[in-house]
Amino acid sequence: MQIEISPNVFVQRLDGRQTYDYRRIKVSFGADYGCCFVELGETRVMAQVSCELVAPKESRPNEGILFFNIELSPMASPAFEAGRQSELSVKLNRQLERCLRNSKCIDTESLCVVSGEKVWQIRVDVHLLNHDGNLMDAASIAAITALSHFRRPDVSSVGEEITVFSPEERDPIPLCIYHMPISVSFSFFQQGTYLLVDPCEREERVMDGLLMIAMNKHREICSIQSSGGIMLLKEQVMRCSKIASVKVSEINELISKALENDKRARKAGERCGYAASLPRGRITALKMDETLVDMTTVMDTAKEIIQEAAVPSEPSSAKHTRAASPVVPAPGVGQVGLGLENSWGLEEDVDEEDEGKGEEEPQMEEQHHERKPRRGVDVVEISDSEEEEVVILHP
C-alpha cells in the first residue's frame, strides 16, 4: 500500500478510518447515579463515582478530596495482572489526575461540610473492560461523564451535628462542574511523519510516540503530555491542538446529549441501567421476561426426600449418661483434653492403651531431658545456643 507523506492525502487505516477519524463512541449509564459506560469502538470502559465523608487534608482544610483509581482488569487484556500497579496503570492514573483534578474542573470547596473536620471525598473508579487502544480517551470521557451524572447525598450541619439525608428524604445534589476536559490522543509514526487520531490497539503497538492533549470546549488546554521520546515540531503540536479542539467539541456535545436523554428517562420513570440498554435484535443477545416457576410438586418432593433420608445415628457420646461439660479452671483459661468425655468411639481396650500411653509419656520426656545436657557437652560450638536454655517442665 502506498502512503504519501502529506497529511492531506488519503491514508487507509486498518479499520477503514481516515487519519483524523474517531471510532464510534457510545455513552450509556448504569442504574445508579455516577455510573457510566463508554464504548470507543471495541474499547470498553466503566466508571463509577462514589462518595464518603472524611477528614480533609491538613494543608487544605476547606476543600473536598478527589480520588482517581484506574483498574486495569485482566478482563481487558491478558497482559494485565490483577492487583498489581503496572507502569501503564500509573501513567494512566497520573494523566487522569492531571486532566481532571489539576485543571480544577470540579469545585472542591463546595464539597466541604465542616471546615477542617468533615469534607466529601469523591472517588472515581475506572474499570477497563476491553482494551482495543486509546484507553486514556475512553477513561477520560467515562470519568467526566460519570462525575457530571453523579449525585451526592444532601447534608446539613447544625452546630456539631452533621445529618446526611437519604435520597428519599431530600433530593441528592449534583457536583459543581465548571468545565469538562476531554483527552484526545495522537499517535506518531516514523519520527512524526505520520499522524493518526484515536489509535487502536494494533496501531498503538507500532507507534513511535504519543501525544495526549486534554482540552475543554472553550478551547483551553488542560494538560498536554508527549510520551515515547519523540521530538515534535511546534507546527505539529499546533496542528494537533487544532484537531483536538474540533474533536472535543464533538464529544462534549455527545456527552451532554447522553446526559439529557438519561435525565429525561429518569424523570419519566422509565427503566434505566445496563440491563435496560441491552442491544435488541443482536443475534448474540436474548431476553426472557419474568417467568413463573411451576411449584406444584415441590412440597411433595421435599417431604419425600426428608422421609426417605435415614434418621442420623446418634453420636456415640449421647450413650453415656454422664453429661460432659468442659472445665474452666479460671475465667479466660482454656485447656485441651480435660473435662470433656472422649467421643471418638474408642473401644475399651483402646482406652486402656491410651492410659498406657499416658504413663509412657513422662518417661519419654525424661529421656529427652537426659539427652539434652549430653549434647551440650559434646558439641562445643552450640554451647551458647538457645537450645541449652530449653527448660522441660515435668508433669
Positions touching another protein (CB under 8 A) are: 30-32, 35, 42, 44, 46, 48, 50, 71, 73-78, 82-83, 123, 125, 127, 129-132, 273-275, 278-279, 281-295, 297-299, 301-303, 305-306
Q: Could you tell me the smallest distance in angstroms from the CB atom of residue 26 to another protein?
A: 12
The cell numbers describing 16, all together, are: 477503514
Side chain identity at residue 250, one-letter code: E
* SS3 category, 29: strand
Q: Could you tell me the smallest distance in angstroms from the CB atom of residue 333 to another protein?
A: 31
Q: Which is nearer to another protein, 15 or 387 (CB)?
A: 15
Q: Could you tell me the smallest distance in angstroms from the CB atom of residue 92 to another protein?
A: 17
* SS3 category, 7: coil
Q: What is the dihedral of CA 90, 138, 204, 209, to 10 degrees?
A: -70
Task: State how far the alpha carbon of 340 is from the alpha carbons of 125, 239, 321, 325, 353, in Å.
Answer: 54, 85, 13, 6, 19
Closest CA to 132 of 212, 200, 207, 186: 200
Cβ-based burial of 380 (10 A; exposed 0-12, middle 13-18, buried ≥19):
exposed
Q: Which is nearer to another protein, 83 or 334 (CB)?
A: 83
Q: Which is nearer to another protein, 29 or 188 (CB)?
A: 29
Checking phi first, is residue 393 left (phi over 0); if not, alpha (psi -120 to 50) or beta?
beta
Q: Which is nearer to another protein, 159 or 281 (CB)?
A: 281
Q: Could you tell me the smallest distance in angstroms from the CB atom of residue 41 to another protein?
A: 9
Cβ-based burial of 249 (10 A; exposed 0-12, middle 13-18, buried ≥19):
middle
Q: Could you tell me the smallest distance in angstroms from the CB atom of residue 44 to another protein?
A: 7
Q: Which is nearer to another protein, 6 or 284 (CB)?
A: 284
Q: Could you tell me the smallest distance in angstroms from the CB atom of residue 31 to another protein?
A: 5
Q: What angle do CA 74, 183, 84 make, to 5 degrees?
A: 25
Q: Which is nearer to another protein, 40 or 211 (CB)?
A: 40
